[in-house]
């Protein structure tokens, strides 16, 4: 009964997270998401495979390159505080716990990527909303990439990608332009293909069932 209640509460947890992140406190939003995700993972026990050095190296390299490529359109160099760097790294890990640790097995790769993109809408003001809406394909592609990684090795490896990607991305401010958006999407697509090819090769070319919701197979 407790496990069922925890599983069914994820829409409420996501709604609370989005609301707090946009209209109250991002720190509180991530704290609540961490608590819910930790409880859910303890109940669901998603599979975590032993990390291999080759997988870590590939994931880290792809994450860094996909975050750096759009920097050619950076409008300014950014020098974030140590707290900001720490926060975005932890935020990436917490998001992996929720979207890939909890939702992936239940909803499948495409749907968890959709909810991941939805969670990144900035609702605080009209300008932020429009800009974040334009980035929806970026977050969806990123969610697919992270979903592939987690489905092959576990959310602990996708957390490595996400944390590193966030940290590298804080080092520059991107210009708001069609060229920038195109560069971001090209980087996302390249990252997705590289990850897909790497893990496709590692598992012998098997089609992965988690493109469908795990609880409906």
Concatenated DSSP letters of the chain? -HHHHHHHTHHHHHHHHHHHHHHS-HHHHHHHHHHHHHHHHHHH----PPP-HHHHHHHHHHHHHHHHGGGGGEEEE----HHHHHHHHHHHHHHIIIIIIIIHHHH-HHHHHHHHHHTT---SSHHHHHHHHHTHHHHHHHHHHHHHHHHHH-HHHHHHHHHHHHHHHTTEEE--SHHHHHHHHHHHHHHHHHHHHHHHHHTTTPPPGGGS-GGG-
Q: For residue 88, count other CB atoms closer than 10 A to its CB.
A: 18
Burial class (CB in 10 A: 0-12, 13-18, 19+), 187: buried
| pLDDT confidence tier of residue 1, bands split at 50, 70 and 90 | low
Sequence-distant (6+) residues with CB within 8 A of 130 are none
What is the rounded average pLDDT of the residues 83-90? 97
pLDDT bin (cut points 50, 70, 90) of residue 216 is: very low
Q: Assess whether pLDDT exceeds 80 at residue 206.
A: no
pLDDT tens for each residue of 65-76: 999 988 887 777
Provide the pLDDT confidence category of residue 212 given band limits of 50, 70 and 90.
low
pLDDT band of residue 204 (cuts 50, 70, 90) is: low
Mean pLDDT (whole number) for 103-131: 95
Instruction: Please check the confidence at residue 129 and state whether its pLDDT lies above 50.
Output: yes
pLDDT, tens digit (0-9, with 9 covering 90-100), for 152-200: 999 999 999 999 999 999 988 888 889 899 999 999 999 999 999 999 8
The full set of domain ranges for the chain reads: 50-216
pTM strictly above 0.85: yes
């Amino acid at each position: 009964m407790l496990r069922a209640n925890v599983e069914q509460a994820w829409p409420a947890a996501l709604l609370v997270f989005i609301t707090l992140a946009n209209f109250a406190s991002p720190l509180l939003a991530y704290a609540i998401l961490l608590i819910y995700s930790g409880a859910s993972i303890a109940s669901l026990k998603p599979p975590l495979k032993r990390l291999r050095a080759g997988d870590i190296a590939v994931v880290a390299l792809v994450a860094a390159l996909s975050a750096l490529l759009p920097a050619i359109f950076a409008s300014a160099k950014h020098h974030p505080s140590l707290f900001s760097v720490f926060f975005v790294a932890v935020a990436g890990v917490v998001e992996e716990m929720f979207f890939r640790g909890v939702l992936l097995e239940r909803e499948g790769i495409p749907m968890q990527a959709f909810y991941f993109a939805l969670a990144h809408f900035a609702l605080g003001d009209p300008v932020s909303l429009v800009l974040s809406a334009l980035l929806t394909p970026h977050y969806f592609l990123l969610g697919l990439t992270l979903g592939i990684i987690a489905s092959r090795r576990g959310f602990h490896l996708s957390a490595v990608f996400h944390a590193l990607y966030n940290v590298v991305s804080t080092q520059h401010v991107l210009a708001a332009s069609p060229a920038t958006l195109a560069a971001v999407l090209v980087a996302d697509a390249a990252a997705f293909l590289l990850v897909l090819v790497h893990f496709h090769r590692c598992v012998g070319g098997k089609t992965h069932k988690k493109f469908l919701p795990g609880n409906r197979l």
